[in-house]
Amino acid sequence: MAENFNEMLGPDGQVRAPYAILKQWLDTQSPADLRAKIREAESIFRRLGITFAVYGNEEAAERLIPFDIIPRIFAASEWRRLEAGIRQRVAALNAFIDDIYHRQEILRAGRVPSALVLQNEAYLPQMAGMTPARNVYAHIIGTDIVRVGEDEFYVLEDNCRTPSGVSYMLEDREAMMYLFPDLFARHRVAAIEHYPQMLRRTLDSVAPPACEGEPTCIVLTPGIYNSAFFEHAFLADEMGVQLCTGDDLYVDGGFLYMRTTRDPVRVDVVYRRIDDAFLDPLTFNPDSTLGVPGIFDAYRAGHVTIVNAPGTGIADDKAIYSFMPDIVEFYTGEKPLLNNVPTWRCSEDESLKYVLDHLPELVVKEVHGSGGYGMLVGPTASKKEITTFREILKKRPDNYIAQPTLALSSAPTFVKSGVAPRHVDLRPFVLTGDQIRITPGGFTRVAMKAGSLVVNSSQGGGTKDTWVLED
Amino acid sequence: MLLGRNAASLFWMARYVERAENMARLVEVSYRISLMPKPFRGHTNDWRSVLISAQCEATFDAKYDEASKENVIQHLVLDRENPSSIRSCMETARNNGRSVRTSLSRDVWESLNSTWNELSQLRASHLSSDKLPGLLDWIKQRSMLFRGAMLGTALRLDSFHFSQAGAFVERADNTARILDVKYHILLPRGSGPGSAIDQQQWASLLRSVSAHRAYRWAYKDASYQPWNVAQFLILNPAMPRSLIFCYNWITRSLNDLAADYGTRTDGNDIAERTLRKLAGADMEAIFQSGLHEFLVDFIVDNNRLTSEIANAYNFQ
């Protein structure tokens, strides 16, 4: 594996420009002081209930995501390049979904295999012919990006369903401003705290045709036992909208209403944080008690907007991912600005053979998986893990894709031994409504263990505040 | 605008904090009595009588054979299988608060959340005799912090009125129940009024509602007279745990709601009827027609009020 790109110290060991002030500051801090700051941050998070539920771990049912107190920094010019690439990609993703549920031109042109789309679990036939407000499907996208060199960025995945983490992005910023006001003031850090207002504006802008006057928006949550409940409550609070569970809502005469202490109130836009399958027991999973019976018909009738639209999973499917360069070119007529990671689709015999022969070098992921569950990281896996995984892979090859192990960049991180480089990725949040809105930076996840490449919070990854410096 | 489910959560959040505090008082008093020399205690098993007062006999007997001090304290303070244990009450209160996080002030939420964070860490070893009094004190303080945060920081909107109705319906229920249990079941039959045991029972009853000193101020009487104690806990409008005080508060909360919403519900009528009944009552008449019957009627009406509120405001 190639040498990792160190974001603070460049290849020549010199401090890179965006980190100049931070490095100086770090050199003057004692580990004991920094450790005290971490404890302070944790007690604030714990008291406020900024927690993340980890499934299958009852004792630590509500856990803090480790917060690293050293910010990750991008120069304005770096961010401008990234932002342009993200905009291009997000526009292409929405155009792709629109096409897939209408004329399917990209399939007819043979640029993406029909079977891969139409037989995909993430493809929802119920969405065929559906045109939501402003033709936007994936209103909120979390694009996972990794860096491997000074100018080399790769998109790892496009989260087009219900990406989470934005509350940590915002709370991490609050924590940094509280803990290190001086350090913060010595940088010109682009603001991100208007994200909730931007989200609110995005929701308002996609109100359905039937909406009269000011749209009523809500956040729909599975409830307090969901891993991201804190975030659902946080966003509802920050946007000044109601946080509802399925029980609070019902459909009457084709319109969606919420039950209040007084008369029912009609709902126009639902920012839902429950999966497609649970959205409507009449259309999808009949056993779901989380959703609202009849909401999908109300949606199809143009009486309510569901954000993100059902069926957007077709665009972030890991098998579709490998076609993203074609997809971007097909809809934008431009070369993609962001790199895609070369991907082997194990459903194809040739690729499967290559993957089975090279397991120790590859990362193998489930096509529909998320959260770092059920994946193999070849270079760090034991012989036994690789043998076990080989059998699993042979049984259901079409369930997996494989990618080379990228040498993720590292950023300075405060760990037990002091300040040390740890691998990071980045999830910027991109909003699409009447326009595309992006907050500068995003949610940086960091693998707290030395050498680890798994940054998922469900696997012990931590978070950092992400600073985009202004010119 | 307030979701019906959120109104329910606010009502029950405050109710469960109140219940946790009352449970802490009850255990505290019982523990105190258990330290006294034998002759001052009642003839029934003291700890059995605590279970009766706490209405936790059924859950206790399903789990334990013997009403020993350790078993009863464990069941009432930390037992997860007892929905009325202090631990369970605080957990339920906090989960209700969590689901309406957006309608709470930061101070209110933090008071609930920190309490639960600490309480959830406690193990049986924290109930040893050297630690128990401190723990019970702490519970009371946390409940008072919650109440203070509510009074000091919550906007006087519908959300506030629902929480107040919940807290005071619970408090009224607690006062009525404790009075009934002590008077009707626990007062030893053989010992006449004025006996040492009798005095001890009344003193502990007053203590369990934090009122033994207040009683002396109000009645300037060194010994406890049953009719005075009953009068104090039922009809004295200055006593913050008396039934009439609770109903003054509930009526005001529900009337504020009705004013906000521009409509009255059956709940307003029930609360006002109960309040009028209390305001017009005199102790002698109550004793003559039976204190027990009076309290049972009251508890039934108080429960009916909860279902009326739930119904009128779409609690689900």
End position of a domain, from candidates B154, B182, B213: B154
Phi, psi of A251 (to 5 degrees): -105, 130
Best interface-test mutation with A: which of B1, B3, B10, B121 has the largest number of A CBs within 10 A?
A: B3
Beta strand A140-149 with A429-432 is antiparallel
**Residues of B with Cβ-Cβ distance to A236 under 8 angstroms:** 102
Alpha carbons within 13 angstroms on the beta-carbon side of residue B31 total: 24
Nearest-neighbour CA in chain A from B298: distance (Å): 27
- Residue B5 and residue A259: Cβ atoms within 8 Å? yes
Q: Which domain holds residue B273?
A: 156-316
Q: Which residues pair with A252 in a beta bridge?
A: A255
Residue ranges in chain B modelled with pLDDT below 70:
38-44, 184-197
Residue that the structure tokens 């030395």 belong to: A450
Residue-level pLDDT at A449: 87
Residue B128 and residue B188 share a domain: no
In chain B, the number of structural domains is 2
B109 plus B199 within the same structural domain: no
The reply to whether B12 and B135 lie within a common domain is: yes
- Judged on CB neighbours under 10 Å (0-12, 13-18, 19+), A181 is exposed
Residues 6+ apart with CB under 8 A from A467: A71, A72, A73, A74, A187, A189, A190, A441
Dihedral of CA A54/A60/A61/A65: which sign?
negative
Amino acid identity at B36: M
User: How close is the nearest chain B Cα to the Cα of A122, in Å?
Assistant: 31
Chain A CB within 8 Å of residue B314 CB: yes
**Distance, CA of A118 to CA of A102 (rounded, Å):** 12
Domains of chain A by residue range? 17-208+304-341+406-468, 344-404
B103 and B238, same domain (yes or no): no
Answer whether A243 touches B (CB < 8 Å).
Answer: yes
Q: Distance between alpha carbon B150 and the CA centroid of its chain, in Å?
A: 18
From B120, B154, B188, the end of a domain falls on B154
Q: Do B99 and A237 touch (CB under 8 A)?
A: no
- Both B119 and B251 in a single domain? no
How far apart are the C-alpha atoms of B102 and B115, rounded to whole Å? 19
Tell me, yes or no, whether B120 and B199 share the same domain.
no
Contact A248 B5 (CB under 8 A): yes
Look at residue B287 in the predicted model and tell me its pLDDT.
87
Name the closest residue on chain B to residue A49, using Cα atoms: B113
**First CA to last CA across chain A, in angstroms?**
35
A46 lies within 8 A of chain B by CB: yes
Amino acid identity, position A285: N
Alpha-carbon distance values, A132 to A200, A309, A438, B29 (Å): 18, 8, 21, 64
Instruction: For residues B253 and B168, give the distance between their C-alpha atoms in angstroms, rounded to a whole number.
Output: 10
- Which of A229, A237, A247 comes nearest B5 by C-beta? A247
Q: A225 in contact with B at a CB cutoff of 8 Å?
A: no
Tell me how many degrees the CA angle A307-A365-A451 measures, rounded to the nearest 5: 110
User: What DSSP string describes A63-81?
Assistant: EPPPEEEEEEEE-HHHHHH
Q: Show which of residues 107-146 on chain B sit within 8 Å of chain A, judged by CB atoms.
A: 109-110, 113-114, 117
Residues of chain A with pLDDT under 50: 1, 55-60
Contacts of B310 in chain A (CB under 8 A): none
Question: Between chains, do B101 and A265 touch, taking CB under 8 Å as contact?
Answer: no
> How far from B258 is each of A19, A68, A287, B8, CA to CA, in Å?
60, 50, 39, 17
Which residue's entry shows tokens 């203070």? B148
Give the torsion sign (CA, A168, B112, B136, B185). negative
What does residue B192 show for φ and ψ, rounded to 5 degrees?
A: -70, 165
Facing B314 at nearest CB: one of A48, A224, A259: A259
> Could you give the CA distance from residue A400 to residue A407 in angstroms, rounded to a whole number?
21
Question: Which residue is closest to B99 within chain A, CA to CA?
Answer: A224
Separation in Å, CA B11 to CA A234, B24, B163, B185: 22, 20, 4, 31
Residue A60's identity, in one-letter code, is A
| A47 interaction partners in chain B (CB closer than 8 Å) | 110, 113-114, 117
CATH class of segment(s) A344-404? alpha beta
Residues 6+ apart with CB under 8 A from A70: A22, A26, A411, A412, A413, A414, A419, A464
Three-state SS for B165-221 is HHHHHHHHHHHHHHHHHHHHHHCCCCCCCCCHHHHHHHHHHHHHCCCHHHHHHHHCC
DSSP at B38: G
Nearest Cβ partner of B158 from A223, A237, A261?
Answer: A261
Chain A's closest residue to B95, CA to CA, is: A224
Q: Which residues pair with A244 in a beta bridge?
A: A220
Of B154, B176, B210, the residue at which a domain comes to its end is: B154
3-state secondary structure of B45: coil
Neighbours of A55 (CB within 10 A): 12
Show the tokens assigned to A397. 């090859």
Residues of chain B neighbouring A224 (CB-CB closer than 8 A): 95, 98-99
Q: How many CB pairs under 8 A join A and B?
A: 59
Look at A47 and B316 and tell me if their CB atoms are within 8 Å.
no
Residues on chain A touching B109 (C-beta within 8 angstroms) = 48-49
CA distance A249 to B139: 37
- Give yes or no for a contact between A155 and A340, defined as CB atoms under 8 angstroms apart: yes
What confidence score (pLDDT) does residue B185 get?
A: 62
**Which residue blocks in A101-158 are alpha helix, DSSP H?**
105-108, 114-118
Is A248 in contact with B1 (Cβ distance < 8 A)?
no
Same domain, B2 and B133: yes
pLDDT given at position B103: 87
Using the structure block, give the residue that is written with the tokens 């299988």.
B81
- Which neighbouring-strand residues pair with A339? A154
How far is it, in rounded angstroms, from Cα B264 to Cα B276? 17
Tell me, yes or no, if B95 comes closer than 8 A to chain A by beta carbon: yes
Distance, CA of B136 to CA of A419 (rounded, Å): 44
Q: How far is CA A105 from CA A128, A286, A330, B293, in A?
A: 14, 33, 10, 80
A242/B3 touch (CB, cutoff 8 Å), yes or no: yes
Query: Which chain A residue lies closest to B261 (C-alpha atoms)?
Result: A262
The answer to whether B4 faces chain A, any CB pair under 8 Å, is yes
- Chain B neighbours among A 181-210 (CB < 8 Å)? none
